[in-house]
């Protein structure tokens, strides 16, 4: 995939005006429309004779051009604009709802993919399979209630939404919480200072950038090794045991 994709603007035109960000909205809207058109084109070119089966890799070609975030946004918008969305399987509808699309008047219709429900579902399933192949950590890999846990000293799972798609790798998701007001679930502060177990980068995140605390059973060997090394550095130096000179 590309190192970076054009940024997806998640707000409506009215909100963009309020924020003085109309150009960002317009740029993203145009990219959404292009994405919807290209999905339609790919479906026409890669549908098999039965009219419901797609050639392998059809969705991948679109993902490599637009990225998961925009494709999700367009697909979620498409379901919202469908007259009979229940023609799409419930599990597929639930997965696609991970991306919220704000009501934006007639603009929503402009980037809705106009294809049959079976063909749309086949495309969404290919998109989901491509995402699952990344083997990213999610809420299902976390333990406890993220709204109640203290994050300091814990292995945290960073949300993919906080990362550029070029960094959507498991090694970029696991961080050791080191401090900051945001580590406490009862603090009004948001700052969480953490170190990446993948490459050792130290930076500041907001508490809500993290999905939660990783369940120990899912801690990979490479991460366990990095964690042990970091924890060893934090141990106090052993005392020499000798008497102090006066």
**pLDDT tens digit sequence for 53-106:** 899 999 999 999 999 999 999 999 999 999 898 999 999 998 888 889 999 999
Q: What burial class does residue 4 get, using C-beta atoms within 10 Å of its C-beta: 0-12 exposed, 13-18 middle, 19+ buried? A: exposed
| Torsion angle of C-alpha atoms 99, 96, 60, 110, degrees rounded to 10 | -70
Q: Which of 32, 34, 55 is nearest to 43 (CA)?
A: 55
For the chain, the average pLDDT equals: 92
**pLDDT tens digit sequence for 223-237:** 999 999 998 877 665
């Amino acid at each position: 995939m590309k190192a970076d994709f054009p940024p997806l603007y998640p707000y409506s035109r009215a909100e963009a005006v309020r924020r003085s960000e109309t150009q960002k909205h317009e740029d993203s809207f145009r990219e959404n429309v292009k994405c919807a058109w290209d999905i339609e084109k790919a479906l026409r070119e890669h549908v098999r004779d039965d009219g419901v089966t797609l050639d392998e890799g059809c969705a991948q070609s679109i993902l490599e051009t637009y990225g998961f975030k925009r494709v999700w946004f367009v697909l979620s918008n498409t379901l919202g604009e469908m007259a009979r969305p229940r023609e799409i399987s419930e599990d597929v509808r639930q997965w696609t709802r991970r991306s919220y699309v704000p009501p934006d008047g007639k603009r929503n219709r402009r980037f809705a993919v106009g294809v049959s429900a079976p063909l749309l579902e086949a495309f969404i399933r290919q998109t989901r399979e491509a995402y699952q192949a990344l083997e990213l950590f999610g809420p299902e890999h976390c333990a406890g209630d993220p709204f109640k846990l203290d994050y300091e000293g814990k292995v945290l799972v960073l949300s993919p939404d906080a990362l550029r798609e070029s960094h959507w790798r498991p090694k970029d998701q696991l961080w050791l919480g080191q401090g900051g007001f945001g580590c406490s679930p009862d603090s009004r502060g948001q700052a969480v200072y953490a170190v990446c177990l993948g490459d050792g980068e130290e930076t500041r995140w907001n508490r809500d950038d993290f999905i939660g605390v990783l369940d120990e059973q899912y801690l990979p060997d490479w991460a366990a090794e990095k964690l042990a090394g970091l924890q060893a550095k934090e141990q106090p130096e052993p005392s020499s045991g000798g008497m102090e000179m006066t």
